[in-house]
A = this chain, B = another copy of it.
Amino acid sequence: MTLRQPEPYGRPDKRRAITQAARRVFGRDGYTRASMDAISAEAGVSKRTVYNHFTDKEQLFLTVALEGAEEVTAAIAQIMDRHLHKIVDLEQDLIDFSLDRVAAVTSFPDHFALVRAIEAEAAHIPPPILKAWIAAGPQTGHLRLAPYLRRIADRGLLEIDDADSAAAHLTLLTITDVNQQTFYGAVPLPQEEIARLVTRGVRAFLRSYAPTTP
């Protein structure tokens, strides 16, 4: 099994229609429940065309997962830049950043439904593929956040020993908390409750990483 179909094949619009549909259906139904018939129907494409573009159900799933991860990573990178480039009020900026980051989950519902599916399938996914997925998605999140925190710390607004840990902790205290409670958006949570969780998470983070002003 290869990670990606290397040579381009077929009409790009068809390929796109297939991956879009696959994302929706995989997300809605999960890997096993999702049927190739449903995907081809949703894509408005013959089932044969699906199999001409992708050798396998498995390969289609992984392609969609990795491409989606890249899209989301790009979106999150933008959010980081928007909120963490110029810091005005650190607490408020971190809260706004985290709220936007949480909102990204709901604005890519298909992808994050798919993330749930991957986590469920973790034990059935070959380790190298799983590694590729982690590298493309979750990990890059931390890796990109860390330098921002480092820079903020260099300006004396935070006291950070290990920027990677700090990035992980900020993520855990905000996004992960919300994601756990909403099952990645599957269970709705009122916006004010989300804001409450994020705010208390950011405050805890700041208490932990604020510079000791003597």
Contacts and interface: CB of A to CB of B under 8 A. Distances in A.
A122 B176 contact: no
B165 A122 contact: no
Interface string A98-120: 00000000000000010011011
Interface in A126-165: 127, 130, 138, 162, 165
A191 to B, nearest CB: 19
A2 interface: no
A186 B120 CA distance: 10
Given A169-B204, A209-B207, A187 B130 contact: yes
B120 A119 contact: yes
Interface residues on A, range: 35 or more
A201 B122 contact: no
14 contacts: A30-B32, A30-B120, A30-B121, A32-B33, A116-B119, A119-B120, A120-B120, A122-B186, A168-B177, A169-B173, A172-B172, A172-B177, A207-B208, A208-B208
Given A32-B33, A116-B120, A122-B183, 7 more contacts: A33-B124, A138-B180, A165-B200, A165-B204, A204-B209, A205-B208, A207-B207
For the complex of A and B, list the 3 residue pairs with the smallest distance between their C-beta atoms, beginning with the closest: A120-B120, A32-B32, A122-B183
Interface of A: 28, 30, 32-33, 113, 116-117, 119-124, 127, 130, 138, 162, 165, 168-169, 172-173, 176-177, 180, 183-184, 186-187, 200-201, 204-205, 207-209
